[in-house]
Amino acid sequence: MARVLVGVKRVIDYAVKIRVKPDKSGVVTDGVKHGLNPFDEIAIEEAVRMKEKKIASEVIAVSCGLQQAQESLRTALAMGVDRGIHVEVPQAQYDTLQPLHVSKILAKVAQDEKVDVIIVGKQAIDDDSNQTAQMTAALLQWPQATFASEVKVEGNEVVVKREIDGGLETIKVKLPAVISADLRLNEPRYATLPNIMKAKKKPIKKITPSDLGVDVSPRMQIVNVEDPPTRQAGSVVPDVDSLLAKLKEKGHI
Site for other proteins in 147-206 (CB under 8 A): 147, 149, 159, 162-174, 177, 182-184
Is position 236 an interface residue for other proteins (rule: CB under 8 A)? Answer: yes
Q: How far apart are the first and last CA of the chain?
A: 60
Greatest Cα-to-Cα distance within the chain, rounded to the nearest angstrom = 68
Residue whose C-alpha is closest to residue 169's, from 177, 159, 157: 159
Closest to other proteins by CB, 193 or 223: 223
125 is a site residue for other proteins (CB under 8 A)? yes
Sign of CA dihedral 195, 197, 202, 204: positive
Residues 6+ apart with CB under 8 A from 209: 64, 87, 89, 93, 101, 105, 215, 216
Is the separation of the CB atoms in 134 and 179 below 8 Å? Answer: no
Nearer to other proteins, 70 or 132 (CB): 132
Stretch that binds other proteins, among 45-53, 74-82, 110-118, 215-223 (CB under 8 A): 215-223
Q: Which segment (43-51, 69-77, 85-93, 119-127) binds other proteins by CB under 8 A?
A: 119-127
Q: How far is the CB of 203 from other proteins (least distance, A)?
A: 30
Stretch that binds other proteins, among 15-23, 56-64, 69-77, 78-86 (CB under 8 A): 15-23
Phi, psi for 88 (deg, rounded to 5): -80, 125
Nearer to other proteins, 38 or 204 (CB): 38
| Residue whose CB is less far from other proteins, 193 or 236 | 236
Cα separation, 227 vs 210, in Å, equals 35
User: Which residues, 81 to 110, sit near other proteins by CB under 8 A?
Assistant: 98-100, 103
